[in-house]
Structure 1
Amino acid sequence: MLAGRHHNGADPFLFELKSKASKAKARLDAVSNNDLPARVEAAKDLFAEGSGPSIVLSPFTIQYGRHVKLGKWSFVNYGATFLDSNIITLGDFVAVGPNVQFITDTHPVRPEDRFQPPKEGDPLPFRVVNYALPITVENHAWIGAGAIIMPGVTIGEGAVVAAGSIVTKDVPSRMIVAGNPARELRSVDD
């Protein structure tokens, strides 16, 4: 999965990891968004080892948690989605607006390659073929509300992603991008 190769998205081992993440997320969700020190502490059980301290407000959606690395004092607003079948790295002092989606998962383009017959022990009556690519958001970047960050993208240091943008390719440092797909508008220094 982390190697970016095809894998069975319905693998029983992955279901168990998702279950553990769901329990850790429930403990974090039980802490008030207004009790920031307690949220920072509770987040240690969900996110990758060595993360933070950072603030992620509930509600949010996450698959595994263990693949999300948070830098120091990043802030993730309400409604974030972390589909973390591969590593999602947020650097230090990253600002994430409401309802931003980080999508590492994707599927083969050919329809006949997306599903396979089940193997014994599979929890579903079919196998889902996924692959995932990492996402990196470097220090001091700002991602506006409702943006979607697609698999394999790196957002450079100090870059700005405008609200509602769909980012399908790398964003240079200190660049403002906007649109669907996101296009370079200008430097933050202009």
Structure 2
Amino acid sequence: MTEKEKMLAGQQYNTLDPELLAQNYIARRLIKNYNHLDAEDLQQKDQILNELLGKKGDKVWIEAPFYCDYGEHIYIGENTFVNMNCTFLDDNTISIGKNGLIAPGVQIYTASHPLKASDRIRRPEEQSPNEPIYRTFSKPVDIGDNVWIGGNVCIMPGVSIGDNVTIGAGSVVTKDIPDNVLAFGNPCKVIKTLEE
């Protein structure tokens, strides 16, 4: 099993693996170019996003600056708007449905580390120059259709957010959120059901 396969399977993986580093370098170059384009250069922006992302629906708009790890694990449905200063750490898949509104400063994380320091940090005898000192694993994030994520929301690894959801600004989403609700807070929790 390759390190990339381990990463996408949620197993511990080597973040310094040559295949992963090569994809990260490609993504960094594309993001750098994207973030420095003139706002009206729509054709070039669209071309870069098509090259960077795993899938991009029609009329997807991402405001610069935008940041991600690999790009190819990000899937965004049609008519979704991602505002400026968003960071998507796509060490696993990040799926966003159609008609989404992602406000400025939203952070979506798929990468994580063991909680106990003794599990997270390799002992000296376990260390290798070809591996980082810390252990990493990842979990996918799934966001449904017609979702509005407020400004500066942080979405943690493994979270699923249902359809027709509004997440209030500044929330930290640590657990799954069902369809048709308003949720906010730290940690984020359901406040009320939203009528269709």
Task: Tell me if TM exceeds 0.5.
Answer: yes
- 2:150 counterpart residue number: 144
Q: How does 1:124-163 map to 2 (within 5 A)?
A: 126-163=132-169
**TM-superposition CA deviations, 1:35-94 (whole Å, max 9, x none):** 44442232101110x322311111121100001111112100000011110000011111
1:65 to 54, 65, 71: 71
How far the C-alpha of 1:189 sits from its partner, in A, is 1.6
Structure 1 residues 3-12 or 163-172, which shifts more? 3-12
Aligned residue for 1:128, secondary structure, equals coil
Distance 1:115 1:16 in 2: 24
Distance 1:152 1:34 in 2: 36
The yes-or-no answer on 1:7 pairing with 2:13 is: yes
The yes-or-no answer on 1:30 pairing with 2:36 is: yes
Alignment length, in residue pairs? 186
Distance 1:74 1:37, change over 3 A: farther
- 1:188 counterpart residue number: 194
- 1:119 counterpart residue number: 128
AA aligned to 1:118 is: Q
- Given the two structures, how large is their TM-score scaled by the length of structure 1? 0.91
AA aligned to 2:64 is: S
- 1:76 counterpart residue number: 82
The yes-or-no answer on 1:105 pairing with 2:111 is: yes
AA aligned to 2:57 is: G
8 Å CA contact retained: 1:8, 1:127: no
1:18 to 15, 19, 24: 24
How far the C-alpha of 1:27 sits from its partner, in A, is 2.5
Distance 1:119 1:164 in 2: 39
Structure 1 residues 37-46 or 81-90, which shifts more? 37-46
Q: Where does the alignment leave 5 or more consecutive residues of structure 2 unmatched?
A: 1-6
Q: Where does the alignment leave 5 or more consecutive residues of structure 1 unmatched?
A: none
- Given the two structures, how large is their TM-score scaled by the length of structure 2? 0.88
Structure 1 segments (4+ residues) deviating >4 Å: none
The yes-or-no answer on 1:51 pairing with 2:56 is: yes
Aligned residue for 1:7, secondary structure, equals coil
Please, what is the CA RMSD of the aligned residues? 1.7
Distance 1:188 1:34, change over 3 A: farther
Q: By percentage of residues, which structure has more helix?
A: 2
- 2:47 counterpart residue number: 41
8 Å CA contact retained: 1:96, 1:142: yes
Aligned residue for 2:52, secondary structure, equals coil
Aligned residue for 2:191, secondary structure, equals strand
